[in-house]
Amino acid sequence: MPGRFNERTKHAPIASSTSLVDAKPRKRSLGKNLHKFQPVFRLAGKTKKAVRVALPKKSAAEDAEPSSAKRPSTPVPTNSSLSSPCLIFPAHPTSNPSTPRRSFVVPPTPTRLGASPLLGASPLSPSPPSNSEFNLSPIVTPFMNPDFKTSRHHRATHQAWKAWQDKIIPRLVPIFSDVFFSTRGLQRLQDLPRLCRRICTCASTRLCKVSVWRMHEIQDVEIDVCQCVPAAEQLLRSGSFPSSPLLPSFAVDLHVLELTREVFLRTSPNNTAWTTALESFLRGLGFQLDHEGSLQRSFASALEWYLHLRNVVDAEVDEQQEKVRRDLVGPAVKDDQHLASRAEAGTRHGEHKRPLDHPNPFGAPMHRTRASEYLRRRCPACFGDVKHDPSSTADVCVCTDACFTHKREAGNMDPPKTHPRNVFLNPQTCEDMEQYVDEVRGSGPARESRAHKRCRRDASTYSPSKEQVDNEDEEEDRVEEGLQVPKSVLDGCEESFRAADESRMRSDAREFDDTGVMALLCRHDRVLWMANMKSKGEKQFYVLALLETLFQHLPDDVMVAILYDIACQLHRSLHKWGFLAPFITRMVFAVVVFHAFVHRLECQVRYHPRKREGLGFTSGEGCERLWHQLSRLIGHLRISGSYHRLYTLNAQVQFIEQNSLRTLGAWISRRQAFSDEKREMAQAILAHVATKGFDRDALAKQWDLQVEAQTKPHPNRSKRLGIEAVNEVLALREEKKCARVRVEEAQEAWDNASEAEEHSQLMARSALLEAKMDLESIEESLKQKEAVLGIDSRARLNKAKSNKFFEQRMNALALKTRIRDLLRSRNMELSELKRSGHRQQGSSDWKLRNAIASSVSKRLPRIRRLVGEFNKLCAKLADMAIHNQAPRGAKIPVPIVTKKVPNLDVDDKIWDDVGLTDEDSSSAPPDWLVNESVKEGIKALLDERRALEEDRFLRNERRSMKAWFQEEWSVINHAICTAGDPALQYQFEIRRVKLIELCADWRKDLPAEDFETNWGPSDSDLSQAQEKMHQRHRNGDPVNSDELSVIQEDVCENDSWEWGGPE
């Protein structure tokens, strides 16, 4: 087994196949331009010669592509003298570096009629290349990207990449399909012909010595390479794959590559660990390598390009299948598909009358009769037969979110390579959308929000005028046009999220070329599109690009529910700046359940998915589950190249969705059971509440009153700001009291600490210093807050001092507001901790995680102390009411239950401020505020509505799945009948078997009434598939989708395969 693999070798005798050998490197003086000999393999206990090769020194660039720049070569015939494309290979190097080297010109592989099913005119064969495409001159100009370095290693890398991408992979596509067909899905590789020397009539062959690693042995073989049959073709036809494109010295058995592919799809790809384990395995069989890591680079190259070859073949089969679909179904886009020309794209938004320098990159929307084939393939349940339901608020639900843990460090660049089934948006589209958004915001009429201005201002350099302060403070709160919550609430949410985003950016000072990914998923957690993020913050143009792409692929009337962490801000931005104007009436916005606590109560009432009409039980947490599934890739992607990172993510997304497609029926079954349970519980509660005089109509009226009261604008901004300032001062005063008590307790513990116990002294001293620092921080904040109080605020404080009951009530309200703010900050930190937590890999990431965990752990005791102080104030207020020290009709606030930490959900009692506000005590409070039966009934009423909506979603999804499957069944069987190529027909037959297994999986989970009509496969096919899967399950074997059993019947004679369309 060679310890170093090179592209060029010297003539030497070849030994027969060896299985158990050891290796000893032999040194020999061959001049200053030659390396030592490659290792000589020997059978244990015997002296059996193997390959001995002298390796001349050469650069890394020469190692990837032979070059004769330093050596004269004989004249090479031009393409005009050739009747067909040609490859030019340099001759064998000699031991004398000064000896001229010859170049050979050989004709290309002739078309073999009937020999290879996919060569020649096969649908999977690439188009015939031009003469220049295969003219490999000894002096090759490497493909270079301006961003790449110009070292010899990089030049060699790009030369090899160009040979793989442009020449070798297109030629291997039909050959791999041929091998796949002849071995019945790579099951019988032993039937393939073995590698051997051959004689070519072109008389331009060159000897190439290759070490082929198979499952049970290592073979050192010699092959003759020429233009007729390049080395990669010969190796692939024998069941192995080369490590380099032209003159490989190492190749890997396809079974080994398939095993590695399956492992890397389920774990973090780690070539170093994998090849190290393989080397250890080989040593156990008696092999000895020249040095550690001999396999790593060669094996990684072979695996990378083999995976790409498989993906290209699958994409070619997809294209052939889509051609059959277009013939059967017809186009999904009308002839007049564009509503306006692309030149009008910049003015399609009503408020942008003048042409923009950077118009919307998507142009005008299309007229579609149904969802695009891309969307139907992404999720059959959502888009297989999506239609607008007039009785439903939303026809499909999608969620979007960004993940900043899938970063890539700066400087790691690699040659371009795109996954054939790419789910990422074009980077240029994202850049164009960013320019378009920036230009619209820079020239639009809308003003910057007050919260945004406050975030941008630097207190040390900015001093607003009195007129500016008056204009801002005296501005009346209002509900902006097209929105549902007051402007003050949206400003508060914006400021909160902007501060969190800036805090995250400051937490990591390292430079990254790619900062994360943003994904758009359907409600079944299936990826629709992803966007590669390069900005430090969560920029809105990524969301706009994803949503615009989605609507370009949907029919004209489909309604879409969009769940997003900051959906309220996205909704506001669309109305404010006119983004996505053609689709704004088809959108429904909601926040995801997991991040609802970050929003204020008014925002949750309107945007919480459990309170929003038309969303069912959709939570919007699919992105979080996706990030968890991709978390094993964080360390690998952090140091990978730019294109390799996207390629790996694409491969993982395809693998995840391949598995989720088969469990789609089980997902619907679980969701149906959950909906039935929620509906039954809600109906039982509603029946109980009805006995107390509140039927569904009364509860619906109370809910409307609650929404109206909780989302009404504040009467005057200056008054509201004054109240907030007073509350902050009062809350800080109460915190100061708690901090002083803590300092006294810590001082007492320090005084009582035993001098003999050094550890206890250190702990007590640390606690005392921390308590004093907290007290000083609170005193400083209180001093600053009191200094900026206005005249009205000071009068309010004086009023509180003159009325003991009023003072205690204001203190209680301030404490409760402070508790809610601390809980919101704690929950935001917990969400970041859960996202990154144990999945972070680097030392700095662990430091960040520990810092967050420490901050969270310190905040909880502080919250508990404030909750205790609030409950004490509630007890004082109740005692004052008993002793007639409270105004007539005054309400007493309810203490906070301390059994569990409130989660700030919209229904949590932490939002209840009864008895703490200046409401008119003469009027009776509404039932939705004080009546527990009404509160419980409203929640049950909303749960019942969500259950009915969920049932409607599930019915439509089952219908869509059936329509999609019937069409796929018709298309695949028609493709089998019309495929003129046996290898292509075999690929279609494999997909037909997969469809039968998919139908069998869905059949056991979906309701029986869905299968009363024929889906396509016969009962015998489904029974055999179920029995086959049960047998595999009993044996503990995974399902091999590529395994194809004997075809039971002639597909062209089965009338049941004709698709009649959805019912």
- Which amino acid, residue 965? F
Find the range with the poorest average confidence among 280-294, 468-482, 503-517, 573-587. 468-482
Per the DSSP assignment, residues forming a β-bridge with 729 are none
Q: How confident is the model at residue 857 (pLDDT cuts 50, 70, 90)?
A: low
Joined together, the tokens standing for residue 282 give 């080989």
Q: Is the pLDDT of residue 251 over 60?
A: yes
pLDDT at 329 (0 to 100): 84
- One domain, residues 787 and 810: no
Is 13 part of any domain?
Answer: no
Find the range with the poorest average confidence among 85-94, 304-313, 840-849. 85-94
- One domain, residues 798 and 814: no
Last residue of a domain, one of 880, 896, 930: 930
- Which residue has better confidence, 104 or 524? 524
Average pLDDT over residues 453-465: 39
Three-state DSSP at 432 gives helix
- Which residue has better confidence, 926 or 504? 926
Q: How confident is the model at residue 351 (pLDDT cuts 50, 70, 90)?
A: very low
Is 470 part of any domain?
Answer: yes
Last residue of a domain, one of 321, 352, 369: 321
Average pLDDT over residues 734-756: 78
Q: Is the pLDDT of residue 35 over 50?
A: no
C-alpha–C-alpha distance, residues 1049 and 996, integer Å: 14
pLDDT at 304 (0 to 100): 94
| Domain span at 1040 | 946-1057
Joined together, the tokens standing for residue 710 give 């909780």
- One domain, residues 206 and 261: yes
Average pLDDT over residues 274-282: 84
C-alpha–C-alpha distance, residues 212 and 257, integer Å: 12
Is 574 part of any domain?
Answer: yes
Q: What is the dihedral of CA 475, 479, 485, 491, to 10 degrees?
A: -30
Does this model's pTM top 0.75? My answer is no
Q: How confident is the model at residue 833 (pLDDT cuts 50, 70, 90)?
A: low
- Which residue has better confidence, 441 or 41? 441
Into how many domains does the chain fold? 5
Q: Is the pLDDT of residue 735 over 60?
A: yes
- One domain, residues 155 and 249: yes
Last residue of a domain, one of 611, 644, 662: 662
Task: Kindly list the distances between the CA atom of residue 514 and the CA atoms of 243, 408, 531, 537, 653, in Å, as whole numbers in the listed order.
Answer: 29, 5, 11, 12, 18
- One domain, residues 262 and 401: no
Question: 830: Cβ–Cβ under 8 A, 6 or more apart, which residues?
Answer: 856
C-alpha–C-alpha distance, residues 166 and 168, integer Å: 6
Say if residue 1045 is exposed, middle or buried (CB neighbours under 10 Å; 0-12, 13-18, 19+): exposed
Q: Is the pLDDT of residue 971 over 90?
A: yes
Average pLDDT over residues 196-223: 81
C-alpha–C-alpha distance, residues 102 and 807, integer Å: 100
- One domain, residues 374 and 449: yes
Is 673 part of any domain?
Answer: no
Is 148 part of any domain?
Answer: yes
Is 493 part of any domain?
Answer: yes
pLDDT at 190 (0 to 100): 87
Q: How confident is the model at residue 875 (pLDDT cuts 50, 70, 90)?
A: confident
pLDDT at 508 (0 to 100): 58
- One domain, residues 310 and 391: no
- One domain, residues 826 and 778: no
Is 145 part of any domain?
Answer: yes
- Which residue has better confidence, 855 or 1005? 1005
**786-824 pLDDT, tens digit each:** 665 554 555 555 555 556 776 677 777 777 777 777 776
- One domain, residues 879 and 916: yes
Give the number of other CB atoms < 10 A from CB of residue 95: 12
Task: Report yes or no: 42 and 15 within 8 Å, Cβ to Cβ.
Answer: no
Three-state DSSP at 454 gives helix
- One domain, residues 907 and 1016: no
C-alpha–C-alpha distance, residues 205 and 199, integer Å: 8
411 sits in the region (left: phi over 0; alpha: psi -120 to 50; else beta) called left
C-alpha–C-alpha distance, residues 433 and 547, integer Å: 12
Scan for tokens 């089969």, then name that residue.
317
DSSP per-residue codes, 289-301: -SSTTSSHHHHHH
Kindly state the percentage of the chain with pLDDT values over 90. Answer: 32
- One domain, residues 724 and 819: no
- One domain, residues 66 and 129: yes
Kindly report the three-state secondary structure assignment for every residue of 534-580. CCCCCCHHHHHHHHHHHHHCCCCCCCEEEEECCHHHHHHHHHHHCCC
Three-state DSSP at 101 gives strand
Average pLDDT over residues 634-656: 93
Is 47 part of any domain?
Answer: no
